[in-house]
Amino acid sequence: MIYPWHLYAMAALYMVAGINHFIKPKIYLRIMPLYLPNHKLLVALSGIAELFLGIMVCVPLVKNIALIFIMIMLLVFLLVHFYMLSSKKASAGLPKWLLLSRIPMQFILMYWAYSYLSL
């Protein structure tokens, strides 16, 4: 089945983000909330999840399952965004306005994934 180009763009976004977890893990380790255990494992698992969910979005048989898991993953990732607001080290020197704008962006990304469930 041929999907709109923007669905493939979303899939590519998650695949690139997933691969980046392995190319530059220090970025992700720095933003992991301290209360979560085993940061290296969680960074690797989230990278694998993003990579595979991006691939699964392009497979008609599992597209809807992947989209639901993407929405759940984005909801869980809100923990990281709130942590970045509360920790100077985790904020990586990014301005507060940019960190705050990432929170509604998560909901926009969730809606983006949701919008493809009907295809």
**Is 68 part of any domain?**
yes
**Is 76 part of any domain?**
yes
**Is 109 part of any domain?**
yes
Number of domains in the chain: 1
**Is 52 part of any domain?**
yes
- Domain extent for 75: 5-114
**Is 56 part of any domain?**
yes
Torsion, Cα of 70, 85, 90, 38 (10° steps): -50
Angle at 74 between CA 70 and CA 80, to 5 degrees: 145
Per this entry, what is the length of the chain? 119
Per-residue confidence of the chain (119 residues) as pLDDT tens digits?
689 999 999 999 999 999 999 999 999 999 999 999 999 999 999 999 999 999 999 999 999 999 999 999 999 999 999 999 998 888 888 999 999 999 999 999 999 999 999 87
**Is 62 part of any domain?**
yes
Q: In the chain, where does DSSP find H-type helix? A: 5-23, 25-30, 39-56, 63-86, 96-114
**Is 119 part of any domain?**
no
